[in-house]
Structure 1
Amino acid sequence: MPTALGPAPWARTPAQERPADRPSRFSGFRPEVQGLRFVAVLLVVVYHVFLDRVSGGVDIFLLISAFFLTLSFVRKLEAGRPLALGRYWLHVFKRLLPLAVLTILGTLVLVALFYPEFDVARWRSQALASVFYVENWALAVAQVDYYAVDDSGSSPFQHFWSLSVQGQVFLLWPVIFAAAAVVCRRFRWRPVPVLAVAFGAVFVGSLVFSVVRTAGDQAFTYFDTRARLWEFALGSLLALAVPYLNPARGLRVVLGWAGLVSMVLVGVLVDVQGAFPGWIALWPLCSAAAVIVAGSSGSRFGVDRILASGPLVRLGDAAYALYLVHWPLLITYLVLRDRPVAGPRSGVVLIVVSLVLAVVATRWVENPLKRWAWPERSARRLAVVVVVCLGLVAVPVLGWAQADARRAAQIAAEAERNNPGAAALAPGFEYRGDPDAPTIPVIDADYWGAPGTGEPCPADLGVEPRYQERCRETVPQEDPSATVLLLGNSHVHHWATAVEQLARENGWRVVTYLQPGCLYSTVEEQDYPEDCATWLEGTGPVIDAVDPDLVLGQGTRTSTTGEELTPGAEARLRELDARGVTFVGLRDTPRFEFSPPRCAQENGADDPACTTTGHPAVNTPNPLGPLADELAHVATVDMGDLICPEGTCRPVVGNVHTYWDDDHLSIDYVRTLTPMLAQRLAAALAEDGVRLPGLP
């Protein structure tokens, strides 16, 4: 307020301002913003627990982080002090990591004790991604749906996506300030205008990117750091502008309340699912900006009277801890109760417990470590603390993974004796393995994979560049005895293990041209027309280029309730037959409404809930059969009786998981099917007068 010495520094016009006063514009604790931080995180918690919707609270949290970060660096720039980026980075992560590490280790204990073994390896790897601040990219690559209705299957580390984005920005933003400092020294410019231009460019570029990418691939973009930079840039622009703004008291009161009410209501009034982080995120961010601009109104009617109150400011101090602990508690509860969402009473309990844990962790862990003077005496000591924090997670996680890998290798070494798989279906088979031998594949991080595809097709094949991406030489041979082309989708690909084994034994060359989710038919019959169009267009040119002795593809298409040979697929096969190309259609594998291996892991392989009988693709006429009988170069192979013996689809056959999810065969079971596949391929081809070298 005005004094006998003249107006306060933040109220002076640029003409009145002394250079020495400039840093003071960007200094000072903002209690109402600290209270706002708590409200933002509380919104996240409440919406996660009760509404399972996006509140915009995370976006506000990111904006506030950039706001305070920018104030800190601008003070240094205006005062001409060194930025000391290395020490800054070490100090920031020394401050952030202890509570994060404590949460990660606690969550790992919960995972080991209470979570299905089927998921442990995935969550363990995400713990590592979280502590190294790359969890957002791990989730994006894994194509996680942030808006999934059932949170019980979500990662207990999923909330670390925003902290990872924040950590990445804490590395990037100081570089921008350092670059601005160089420009200011070189041209004798003021820091604020230079930074305004820099962050304005980031804001516009990132916002445009966010809007475009959200419309095209929202699931990936939600976790994409590039699509979030504009939110931080807005916080930085706000920090640059607010010290020069001085709205009247009445306007401050209106701005404060309007911003708070708008911020609370955004998730209720607008179903933002699928829209974040595009332009719609401007709503909660502009709402928070209004509260920040309102600042300290000096009025008893101002919203700052609430936000700057002692209890709310202290809870604001615990906001980081609250965000950390609430999500693993929620997900663990849902896993234990096997529920998709929390109920009203349990939700209230979860929020109260989260608040208590957050306050305790802040008081007894975060605050003492903030006051710990030893690390601050040198950059080396800060580095030691950061490295120790990272090691506290990395060492046990990597050790745990290594122990599981050794166990899996030991089990695999005994698989021929203990895990016969489909060989156990042979008449007179007698099991001679260990009675308590584990079922394979062992469920670990490697379990969530598909057979390899090999190297890109070599140039000598002459495949056109636009089709080259999906063309792979899976088994190369300099002088092949035969060439086999695998053509289709993942339901063809999961047979690659057996085909590769036969190829290496008999000197075949194997080429794959695969596109997940696409059927060898017409674009109109695809579930994903845009993804399949180019692949489908390339099937003819690739067949011409490869000139295979045999095309092995998907013969039919199953669902959980039926099976069909589509008109488009029939037309394609008639075209191949007219060209004299030999095609063997593998009858599609049964699909289920649940994951047989997960069911077996959680309930036991003998649980009736894990077994399916009467599937329409088992022990029923093969829809491809009549066409195969009619066409000279088209044959079909049905392996259904070996996948579902005697019409019963069991999750385990011969101590091997038959499937690795709800519709794909496991690599290990396909390997045990290799001799049977060879016999049936030979028989099917013999009917058409074709023989592949090495087949019986």
Structure 2
Amino acid sequence: MPAVVDPAAVPAGTRSPERAGPAGRASRFSGFRPEVQGLRFVAVLLVVAYHVFLGRVSGGVDIFLLISAFFLTLSFVRKLEAGRPLALGRYWLHVFKRLLPLAVLTILATLVLVEVLYPAHDVGRWRAEALASVLYAENWALAVAQVDYYAADHSSASPFQHFWSLSVQGQVFLLWPLIFAGAGLVCRRFRWRPVPVLAVAFGVVFTVSLAFSVQQTAVRQEFAYFDTRTRLWEFALGSLLALAVPYLNPAKGLRVVLGWAGLVSMVAVGVVVDVQGAFPGWIALWPLCSAAAVIVAGSSGSRFGVDRVLASGPLVRLGDAAYALYLVHWPLLITYLVLRDRPMAGPRSGVAIVVVSLLLALLATRFVEQPLKRWAWPERSRRRLAAVVLACVGLVAVPVLAVQQAEARRIAEITAQADRNNPGAAALAPGFEYQGDPDAPVIPVLTGEHYPKPPLGSPCPAEIGLDERWQQWCFDTVPAEDPAATLLVVGNSHVHQWLPAVEHLAERNGWRVVTYIRGNCFYSTLDEQLFPDECARWLEGTGPAVDAVDPDLVLVQGTRSTDENEETFTPGTEQRIRDLAARGIQVIGVRDNPRFDFVPAHCAEEHGAQAPQCAATHAVLDPDSPLAPVAAELSRVSAVDMGDLVCPGGTCPPVIGNVWTYWDNNHLTAEYVGTLAPEFARRAEQALAADGAQDLLRR
């Protein structure tokens, strides 16, 4: 990532006394810092090396963010001290005019690689991320998608994933000037000097954001990693450093020690400490403080200083290419892993990727970035700058949106014919004869976009009485003014997936349906959770949710399958079910569906729907369900098992009745569940009637 203002500051070893007047004060924040330019290259090289060879976090990106804020702050402080206008509109246009061309070139080249070389089931998702990248929103796209930045297998990662940090940087380039403008207003109003005002402002940002980052990293790390708010403190630290450096004057010997200690510490952080899962919390202070030590050391005036290395001609020139190197290395790495179907690059291939990335970065800097940087025509007016920025965005947005619209029309046409061409589970009925188009596509159409889960409906009304701590998980999924009964659905995505069938059951019987669902959380006990920290608050609210809804029935996931061919009925889940039954609540326990260690639809795309390796079996298909003894013992517990219609004959095919059964390795598609709905309702009603709950049924 580049510094998008001129890299200027006083060389740390050449401090001059304070000179009177605005020009003298502004001069304290001017001057070239070649050692910081070299430091930028070292930071990006750490990012590249750790991505390619180690698959771990180096802290290099965090250093980039700090350096960006450092230079940005120096530029604006010079203006404030000199009393010059900030010209925010022109600044913003100038920044993105410099950033966008190389980014757009990388995005377009990556899109070509994606269309030509990547699996078809991923292409749509990567198109959407290309659009998010050019709009500087990729970090939020990744956060919402719950992407695991630390995933060991990079071959499934987005080729645009590295744009998350550029997106955060772009957002800060919009926000930070507003802070400077606010500081300028305060200074004019109260006749205060800019540096103390800015120090207070950035000190507050640093403190609040760091505290938020530590808290969010502890409870929601996957989201926190990409969250702009958890990164603001890193920029604030860079700004505070820029404000302080002109007033620091360490002795020559201390500069030498600071410089080398900072560089060694910066390189060692990812090797010495496995920081996986800890970023961007307090541990990010390690690489940032290490880089700050190098910047404070500055120009040591000693032949033994680290600045003699960092400020050398080759490293400074490579520092100029750091932005391009960061841009190109990741799509090259991911494309190689996709083509070779490997989780990580090997030593020889890794070296080749790094060398090719360096060469491409140098060429892109020499023949694209630098000529465009010198291009004077756009700088003559804000209108011209805006035209260049809009043209850059349009080069990505127009083709991507056009393709997405065409895909949407195609999917709408296919879906409109689904009743005739895609019978799904109905094809398993005795005597069924297919009357549709033999060439009709399988639904849902695999575009690569994130698969939409069944809608949950409107949030629960306030009068339901559930405390606001748990309101976010409560939904009035099937409202009814005078329901024959109320059904509460409690659990995770494995009950969520059954909602199309549950809604059909409810409508047949005039029930109201309320859902209390959180992904990855089981209706059991805290010690049985896979993610106890994430699930603790949701789990605490299950009791209050039952009290508030006062349901006649509760639908839960009865058993739990694994991708290791196992099925369990945990003690915690059993106790929850027994407690509900003891309260006189009828429980519908749905047996879990099989989980696999592969995605059936992706396998079928590659090998064909009839390929034997794309169909599997599972212990959950055993006729003896672990839930059955409790259901036999308690009349208030009704068991529903749909396994024979998901995996007819004991084998789970990827396609039934021209409908994909699974959308990933463990969730049924809403389309297939919809075709199961009549039989699901019949079996649930049959189980309820057998358990003496006929009064809840209309049929």
Fold shared, TM-score > 0.5 on shorter chain: yes
* Deviation by residue 1:170-221 (Cα, 9 ceiling, x = unmatched): 1122112212222222232322233233223333333333333333333222
Rounded Cα–Cα distance in structure 2 between residues aligned with 1:150 and 1:307: 34
Matches within 5 A, 1:214-229: 214-229=217-232
Q: Say if 2:54 is the partner of 1:51.
A: yes
Give the stretch that moved more between structures: 513-522 or 308-317. Answer: 513-522
Q: Say if 2:323 is the partner of 1:320.
A: yes
Q: Say if 2:443 is the partner of 1:440.
A: yes
Match of 1:287 in 2: 290
Q: Provide closer, same or farther for how the CA distance between residues 414 and 272 of structure 1 changes in structure 2, counting only shifts above 3 A.
A: same
* Deviation by residue 1:440-468 (Cα, 9 ceiling, x = unmatched): 11123665221111112335545455554
Q: Secondary structure at the match of 1:101?
A: helix
Could you state the TM-score of these two structures normalised by the residue count of structure 2?
Answer: 0.92
Long gaps (5+) in structure 1? 1-6
Match of 1:191 in 2: 194
**Shift, 1:15, TM fit:** 5.4
Match of 1:202 in 2: 205
Matches within 5 A, 1:300-319: 300-319=303-322
Work out which of the residue numbers 256, 259, 264 in structure 2 matches 1:261. Answer: 264
Q: Secondary structure at the match of 2:621?
A: coil
Q: Say if 2:570 is the partner of 1:566.
A: yes
Aligned 8 A contact 2:155 2:342 in 1: yes
Rounded Cα–Cα distance in structure 1 between residues aligned with 2:508 and 2:12: 83
Rounded Cα–Cα distance in structure 2 between residues aligned with 1:304 and 1:634: 73
**Shift, 1:581, TM fit:** 2.7
Match of 1:587 in 2: 591
Match of 2:559 in 1: 556
Rounded Cα–Cα distance in structure 1 between residues aligned with 2:422 and 2:522: 33
Rounded Cα–Cα distance in structure 1 between residues aligned with 2:583 and 2:275: 52
Work out which of the residue numbers 644, 648, 652 in structure 2 matches 1:649. Answer: 652
Work out which of the residue numbers 120, 126, 129 in structure 1 matches 2:129. Answer: 126
Aligned 8 A contact 1:483 1:508 in 2: yes
Q: Secondary structure at the match of 1:510?
A: strand
Q: Provide closer, same or farther for how the CA distance between residues 585 and 310 of structure 1 changes in structure 2, counting only shifts above 3 A.
A: same
Matches within 5 A, 1:101-116: 101-116=104-119
Q: Secondary structure at the match of 2:129?
A: helix
Give the stretch that moved more between structures: 34-43 or 239-248. Answer: 239-248
Work out which of the residue numbers 67, 76, 79 in structure 1 matches 2:79. Answer: 76
Match of 1:604 in 2: 608
Say how many residue pairs are matched: 689
Rounded Cα–Cα distance in structure 2 between residues aligned with 1:64 and 1:328: 24
**Shift, 1:25, TM fit:** 2.4
Aligned 8 A contact 1:679 1:695 in 2: no
Rounded Cα–Cα distance in structure 2 between residues aligned with 1:23 and 1:466: 50
Q: Secondary structure at the match of 2:452?
A: coil
Q: Provide closer, same or farther for how the CA distance between residues 363 and 458 of structure 1 changes in structure 2, counting only shifts above 3 A.
A: same
Give the stretch that moved more between structures: 285-294 or 41-50. Answer: 285-294
**Shift, 1:555, TM fit:** 2.4
Work out which of the residue numbers 85, 88, 92 in structure 1 matches 2:88. Answer: 85
Match of 2:241 in 1: 238
Aligned 8 A contact 2:219 2:534 in 1: no
* Deviation by residue 1:621-666 (Cα, 9 ceiling, x = unmatched): 1222233233223221211111100001111111111111222111
Rounded Cα–Cα distance in structure 2 between residues aligned with 1:668 and 1:67: 52
Aligned 8 A contact 1:441 1:447 in 2: no
Match of 1:28 in 2: 31
Work out which of the residue numbers 209, 214, 228 in structure 2 matches 1:211. Answer: 214
Rounded Cα–Cα distance in structure 1 between residues aligned with 2:249 and 2:533: 53
Rounded Cα–Cα distance in structure 2 between residues aligned with 1:167 and 1:106: 21
* Deviation by residue 1:674-694 (Cα, 9 ceiling, x = unmatched): 121122123222323434788
Q: Provide closer, same or farther for how the CA distance between residues 515 and 480 of structure 1 changes in structure 2, counting only shifts above 3 A.
A: same
Match of 2:687 in 1: 684
Match of 1:143 in 2: 146
Rounded Cα–Cα distance in structure 2 between residues aligned with 1:533 and 1:54: 28
Q: Provide closer, same or farther for how the CA distance between residues 690 and 127 of structure 1 changes in structure 2, counting only shifts above 3 A.
A: same
Q: How big is the alpha-carbon RMSD for the aligned residues of Structure 1 and Structure 2? A: 2.6
Q: Secondary structure at the match of 1:617?
A: helix
Aligned 8 A contact 1:11 1:244 in 2: no
Q: Secondary structure at the match of 2:131?
A: helix
Q: Provide closer, same or farther for how the CA distance between residues 274 and 452 of structure 1 changes in structure 2, counting only shifts above 3 A.
A: same
Match of 2:3 in 1: none
Matches within 5 A, 1:382-397: 382-397=385-400
Q: Secondary structure at the match of 1:511?
A: strand
Q: Secondary structure at the match of 2:554?
A: strand
Q: Provide closer, same or farther for how the CA distance between residues 251 and 633 of structure 1 changes in structure 2, counting only shifts above 3 A.
A: closer
Q: Provide closer, same or farther for how the CA distance between residues 437 and 309 of structure 1 changes in structure 2, counting only shifts above 3 A.
A: same
Q: Say if 2:43 is the partner of 1:40.
A: yes
Equivalent position amino acid for 1:580 in 2:
G
Q: Provide closer, same or farther for how the CA distance between residues 285 and 361 of structure 1 changes in structure 2, counting only shifts above 3 A.
A: same
* Deviation by residue 1:511-567 (Cα, 9 ceiling, x = unmatched): 223233344444444444455555455545544554545433222222233223333
* Deviation by residue 1:563-590 (Cα, 9 ceiling, x = unmatched): 2333343344344444433222222111
Match of 2:180 in 1: 177
Rounded Cα–Cα distance in structure 2 between residues aligned with 1:100 and 1:149: 26
Rounded Cα–Cα distance in structure 1 between residues aligned with 2:696 and 2:584: 19
Aligned 8 A contact 1:682 1:692 in 2: no
**Shift, 1:500, TM fit:** 1.6
What percentage of residue pairs aligned between the two structures are identical? 73
Equivalent position amino acid for 1:364 in 2:
F
Aligned 8 A contact 1:635 1:684 in 2: yes
Equivalent position amino acid for 2:600 in 1:
P
Aligned 8 A contact 2:13 2:299 in 1: no
Rounded Cα–Cα distance in structure 1 between residues aligned with 2:469 and 2:403: 43
Q: Provide closer, same or farther for how the CA distance between residues 357 and 386 of structure 1 changes in structure 2, counting only shifts above 3 A.
A: same
Q: Provide closer, same or farther for how the CA distance between residues 538 and 257 of structure 1 changes in structure 2, counting only shifts above 3 A.
A: closer
**Shift, 1:672, TM fit:** 0.7
Q: Secondary structure at the match of 2:619?
A: coil
Could you state the TM-score of these two structures normalised by the residue count of structure 1?
Answer: 0.93
* Deviation by residue 1:267-292 (Cα, 9 ceiling, x = unmatched): 22222222222333222222222322
Match of 2:637 in 1: 634
Give the stretch that moved more between structures: 542-551 or 433-442. Answer: 542-551
Aligned 8 A contact 2:140 2:226 in 1: yes
Match of 2:492 in 1: 489
Rounded Cα–Cα distance in structure 1 between residues aligned with 2:245 and 2:544: 62
Aligned 8 A contact 2:479 2:512 in 1: yes
**Shift, 1:360, TM fit:** 1.2
Q: Provide closer, same or farther for how the CA distance between residues 343 and 523 of structure 1 changes in structure 2, counting only shifts above 3 A.
A: closer
Q: Secondary structure at the match of 1:673?
A: helix
**Shift, 1:147, TM fit:** 1.6
Give the stretch that moved more between structures: 20-29 or 530-539. Answer: 530-539
Equivalent position amino acid for 2:599 in 1:
S
Q: Say if 2:412 is the partner of 1:409.
A: yes
Equivalent position amino acid for 1:585 in 2:
G
Q: Provide closer, same or farther for how the CA distance between residues 225 and 520 of structure 1 changes in structure 2, counting only shifts above 3 A.
A: closer
Q: Say if 2:677 is the partner of 1:664.
A: no
Q: Provide closer, same or farther for how the CA distance between residues 394 and 578 of structure 1 changes in structure 2, counting only shifts above 3 A.
A: same
Equivalent position amino acid for 1:195 in 2:
L
Aligned 8 A contact 1:482 1:692 in 2: no
Aligned 8 A contact 2:561 2:592 in 1: yes
Matches within 5 A, 1:88-99: 88-99=91-102
Long gaps (5+) in structure 2? 1-9
Q: Provide closer, same or farther for how the CA distance between residues 423 and 199 of structure 1 changes in structure 2, counting only shifts above 3 A.
A: same
Rounded Cα–Cα distance in structure 1 between residues aligned with 2:695 and 2:633: 21
Give the stretch that moved more between structures: 586-595 or 475-484. Answer: 475-484
